[in-house]
Amino acid sequence: MSSFAEQKSAPPAVEERGSGGQAPGNGPRPIHVPGGHAAEPHNVTVGRGGVGKESAAIETHGLTKRYRGGQLAVNRLDLTVPRGSVFGFLGPNGSGKTTTIRMLMGLMEPTDGTARVLGSPMPRAARTVLPRVGALIEGPALYGFLSGRDNLLRYDAADPTADPRTRTARVTAALDRVGLTAAAGKKARAYSLGMKQRLGLAAALLQRRELLVLDEPTNGLDPQGMREIRALIRELAEDGTTVFLSSHLLDEIEQVCSHAAVMNQGRLVVQGEVAELAASARGRLVVTTPDTGAAAHLLKERGIADVTVDENRVTAELPPEDTELADINAELVRAGVRVRGFVAERASLEDAFVALTGEGFDVAG
């Protein structure tokens, strides 16, 4: 994550001093990015219609990546990321999320299709687009022998748009924003994985960007760290920054994102507003009772679908909205079922995605 005008730039050159220092290897580099759009026949879009080009931060059309040997990593991706949104790019590991991001940033050539970021074609317009974008992809590349503060000073110095007169103030502010002020003087090689993620995010925040692209930003963070990063993402969105957040954590997407898309086996399954995606799935009726057999039998007789029994609970798909749930509860009581709990649980994002993909994702977070 840096403010390099050249998307494939190496990290800023540094002369190592002292013994035992180690320069970064050829691992993933933080940079600045582009993005994707639209909707194709096999995709499902949930929401209030399409997003115009002028209001899309990322657009792709038919974006495809096929590796040597024939593996299809991304299959005709049509994606629209509205400006000003916090957009969750969701899917299990190996679903094509990171490959998509790398294509959007110009780190990997697509096999087919087009991509636009902030209204400009990528990678053709990389020199003008990338300075307006901050990104953290696959973890930051850091100089282990430099302190966290010195790493940020080097990143800032490599940005041709950065004013050197205010460099120290920018670095101090970025460290404070991600909670690393106390560890700013520590060598980066002594940082934990979570601290490295924070430092990488700080590098992306050295200057205000129109678009921030984060690939698994809470990777390695403890629960408190996750909460802090989510709060920071919300703050950025309130300031007008579009945030494109890749994650395999459904809970993370549901808590922080306004819009989302889910990838599965290289294909876009669905995209839209998070609230509408969750609403597209039926909720669950939960009856707590010691008389599970009788309760399950009655619910099935009522024509209620997907009835399951688990110890002292019976769950089922919520009946249609015109069904009076109080009537069902009364019927259970009249039938002699000892009802100790009767709850209608709203559908979650997990419910919607399981229904759409037939498989679940990690929902920890």
Average pLDDT on 252-276 reads 89
Q: Name the residue range of residue 302's domain.
A: 284-346
> What CATH number should be reported for the domain holding residue 304?
3.30.70.100
d(CA 132, CA 110): 22
Residues 240 and 300 in one domain: no
Between β-strands 86-90 and 259-264, what pairing exists: parallel, antiparallel or unpaired?
Answer: parallel
Same domain? For 206 and 161 the reply is yes
Task: Give the separation between CA 122 and CA 105, rounded to whole angstroms.
Answer: 8
Task: Give me the DSSP letters along 71-119.
Answer: -EEEEEEEEEEETT-EEEEE--TTSSHHHHHHHHTTSS--SEEEEEETT
pLDDT of 196: 92
Give the three-class secondary structure for 229.
helix
Q: Are residues 181 and 300 in the same domain?
A: no
Res 45: pLDDT: 53
pLDDT, residue 107, reads 83
What is the pLDDT, as a whole number, of residue 365?
39
User: Does 215 share its domain with 237?
Assistant: yes
User: For the domain that residue 163 is a member of, what is the CATH number?
Assistant: 3.40.50.300
Which of 258, 279, 300 is where one domain is finished? 279
Residue 78 and residue 218 share a domain: yes
Confidence check: pLDDT of 181 > 80: yes
Do 265 and 301 fall into the same domain? Answer: no
Residue that is last in its domain, among 245, 279, 313: 279
Indicate if 161 and 214 belong to the same structural domain: yes
Instruction: Judge whether 301 lies within some domain.
Output: yes
Residue pLDDT, tens place only, 135-149: 888 778 899 999 999
Assess whether 159 and 303 both reside in one domain. no
Please report whether residue 198 resides in a domain.
yes
Domain boundary among 264, 279, 294: 279
Q: Select from 209, 198, 218 the least CA-distant residue to 239.
A: 209
Locate tokens 């000892």: which residue?
338
Lowest mean pLDDT among 2-11, 77-86, 201-210, 214-223: 2-11
Residue 45's beta-bridge partner residues?
271
The whole-model pTM stands at 0.71
Q: Is the bond leading into 123 cis (omega within 30 degrees of zero)?
A: yes
**Alpha-carbon Rg of the chain, whole angstroms?**
24
Task: Give residue 280's pLDDT.
Answer: 65
Which tens digits make up the pLDDT trace of 18-42?
Answer: 333 333 433 333 333 333 333 333 4
Instruction: Check whether residue 251 and residue 154 sit in a common domain.
Output: yes
Specify whether 173 is located in the same domain as 237: yes
Tens-place pLDDT, residues 101-126: 988 988 888 999 999 999 999 888 88
Tell me how many domains the chain contains.
Answer: 2
pLDDT at 176 over 60: yes
Residues 51 and 176 in one domain: yes
Highest mean pLDDT among 168-172, 305-309, 354-358: 168-172
